[in-house]
Amino acid sequence: MLSLLVSSTVVASACSSDDSEGDTSGAGGTPTIGDGDGNGAIFDGDDGAGPSAGDGFDSDQACVGRAAGTELAPTIVELLVDTSLSMDEDAPGSNRSKWVETRRVTVEAIDLMPATTSVGVVFYPDVEVGEQPCFDSEADVGVAGLGSATSEQRRQIRQAFERESPRGSTPTHDAYRFALDQLSAAEGAGQKFLVLITDGTPTYALGCEGSGTQDDPADPAPLIPEAASALGRGMKTFVIGSPGSEGARRSLSQMAEAGGTAVDGCSHDGRPRYCHFDMTAEEDFAVGLRDALASISGIALSCAYDIPEPPTGETLDLSKVNVLFAPPGGSEPELIPQSPPGADCNTGWRYSDDQSQVLLCGDTCDRVSSSTGQLSLEFGCTTRIIF
C-alpha cells in the first residue's frame, strides 16, 4: 500500500565498503551527513565506477565516500471538490450517490497521507441553486499540516466532509481561482498541488456570469490558461472527471495538460486515453476514484525525495548521484538508472526542475511505492543513465 512508503524515512546508502562508516544516523535515528574521509568524495568527489544499471549493488565494488540522509519531500495539497446538486445522483457500481462515494474514498485517501503533507479543502458552490453570489468564497478547511492520525487538522477535514451535502450549480472558474489563492498563500516548503474533482461542465463563468443551468453551460476554455498560469507560479493541477463530466472531457483533459499533470501517452480525444483522470466510463466509480487518488498520491507524495544540502564549503556534483532500491527480504540493492534527458519519464528517475529533488518516474514510482522495500541514495559514484 502507498502508506508503507510515504510514511517512512529514506536513509542514504554509504558509498564506502567499510562497515564502520555505514552508520549515518544521528541522535534519535535522524539521518545525518556521514563522517567519510574528509576529502569530499560525495560532493565533487573522486570518479567511482559504482554499480552498473540494473545490477545488484556490490559493496566491495562501491566507490569510497560519505553518505548523506534524505527524507520524502513535504507536499502541499489543496482539494477542490465539486458538491453541486448533480453530485447527489447515483454513482455507477453503487447504490449510493456520487457525493457519498467521493466523500468516503477521499477521506480514506487523506487518512493514508503522511504527517508531513499539508492539506486544505474547498467545496463548491456551497450555496443554493440560483443564489448570488454563486460561490461562497470560503475555505472549508484551511491548508495545514496533517500531523498524526488523531490531529486536529485530520479531525477538521473529516468533519467538513461529513457535514457537506450537494446543492447549487457549478461555478468552477470562481472556485478554482479562489482555491489557487489559498494554495499560493499556504506557508511552508514543498511542491504545491491542486486536485480538482468535478462531475460536469461549468454552469457559471468567472464572476458568476450566466444562468447557472445545465441547459446553458459556461465556456470551460478560460480554465485552461488559468491552469497554465498556476503552473508557472509553481502549482500543478490534477483533474478528476467524475461521471456526468462526459461533455467536459476535452476541456478537462486540456486543463490537466496545462496544469502539468497529463498522463503519459494521452490525447484530448481520448485515444488511447484523456490527459486527466476520466471516471465517466468506470463501471464502479468508487474503485476508479480510489485508483485515481492513489495515482495522484503516488506522484505527489511518495516519489519525490529531497537531496540534502552539502557540507559547508562543498558543492554537490549532480553527475555523481545514484538511486538504489532494496526489495523486501534482504535482497541486494538494485541500482535504478536515471531516465535520459528529453525522454518520457516512464522508468528510472530524474531531477526536479530546480534540481533539489530526486523524482521517481511513473512505472518505477508504482513499483517502489507498492513495496515494503527501502529506497536509498548513493553519492559520489558516477550516475548511471538508461540507454
| pLDDT band at residue 74 using 50, 70 and 90 as cut-offs | confident
Predicted local distance difference test score (pLDDT) of residue 338: 95
Residue 176 lies in a domain: yes
Q: What is the 3-state secondary structure (H, E, C) of 139-186?
A: CCEEEEECCCCCCHHHHHHHHHHHHCCCCCCCCHHHHHHHHHHHHHHC
d(CA 230, CA 78): 13
Residue appearing with cell numbers 479531525: 155
Helix, strand, coil share of the chain (percent; to 5): 25, 20, 55
Residue appearing with cell numbers 498520491: 297
110 versus 38: the higher-pLDDT residue is 110
Residue 216 lies in a domain: yes
The predicted-structure confidence for 179-214, as pLDDT tens digits, reads as follows: 999 999 998 878 899 999 999 999 999 999 999 999
Same domain, 98 and 43: no
Mean pLDDT of the chain: 81
Does residue 77 surpass a pLDDT of 80?
yes
In the chain, the number of structural domains is 2
Residue 111 lies in a domain: yes
d(CA 220, CA 254): 10
Q: Any idea which of 33-47, 161-175, 182-196 has the lowest mean pLDDT?
A: 33-47
Q: Which of 202, 184, 192, 286 is nearest to 238 (CA)?
A: 192
Q: Is 379 exposed, middle or buried (0-12, 13-18, 19+ CB in 10 A)?
A: buried
d(CA 70, CA 8): 11
Pairing of strands 235-241, 277-278: parallel
Q: Is 70 exposed, middle or buried (0-12, 13-18, 19+ CB in 10 A)?
A: buried
Residue 340 lies in a domain: yes
Pairing of strands 349-351, 357-360: antiparallel
Same domain, 35 and 109: no
Same domain, 326 and 342: yes
Residue 59 lies in a domain: yes
Rounded mean pLDDT of 15-39?
31
3-state secondary structure of 61: helix
Distances (CA, A) of 209 to 170, 172, 212, 217, 380: 11, 12, 8, 11, 59
Pairing of strands 191-198, 75-82: parallel
User: In 10 A of CB 76, how many CB atoms?
Assistant: 23
Predicted local distance difference test score (pLDDT) of residue 70: 53
Residue 4 lies in a domain: no
Predicted local distance difference test score (pLDDT) of residue 44: 39
Final residue of a structural domain among 300, 331, 350: 300
CA geometry: angle at 129 spanning 125 and 133, to 5°? 60
Final residue of a structural domain among 233, 265, 300: 300
pTM: 0.71
| pLDDT band at residue 370 using 50, 70 and 90 as cut-offs | low
308 versus 219: the higher-pLDDT residue is 219
d(CA 79, CA 120): 6
The predicted-structure confidence for 258-292, as pLDDT tens digits, reads as follows: 999 998 789 999 999 999 999 999 999 999 999 99
Same domain, 329 and 188: no
Same domain, 274 and 386: no
Structural domain boundaries, residue 41:
9-68+318-387
- Is the separation of the CB atoms in 285 and 93 below 8 Å? yes
**269-289 per-residue burial string, b: 16 or more CB within 10 A, e: under 16:** eeeeebbbbbbbebeebbbbb
Predicted local distance difference test score (pLDDT) of residue 286: 97
Q: What are phi and psi of 250, to 5 degrees?
A: -65, -45
Same domain, 213 and 151: yes
Q: Any idea which of 8-12, 167-171, 361-365 has the lowest mean pLDDT?
A: 8-12
User: In 10 A of CB 95, how many CB atoms?
Assistant: 7
Same domain, 232 and 162: yes
Same domain, 282 and 345: no
Does residue 59 surpass a pLDDT of 70?
no
Final residue of a structural domain among 300, 334, 369: 300
Rounded mean pLDDT of 34-60?
39
Residue 312 lies in a domain: no
Strand spans (E) along 24-166: 75-82, 118-124, 141-145
The predicted-structure confidence for 216-229, as pLDDT tens digits, reads as follows: 999 999 999 999 99
Same domain, 333 and 359: yes
DSSP 343: S
Q: The CATH number of the domain where 158 resides is what?
A: 3.40.50.410
Same domain, 64 and 89: no
Residue 152 lies in a domain: yes
Q: Is 140 exposed, middle or buried (0-12, 13-18, 19+ CB in 10 A)?
A: buried
Same domain, 289 and 210: yes
The span from the first CA to the last CA of the chain, in angstroms, equals 31
d(CA 154, CA 195): 18
The predicted-structure confidence for 330-339, as pLDDT tens digits, reads as follows: 778 888 999 9
Residue appearing with cell numbers 506557508: 187
Rounded mean pLDDT of 124-153?
96
Rounded mean pLDDT of 292-317?
80
Same domain, 181 and 206: yes
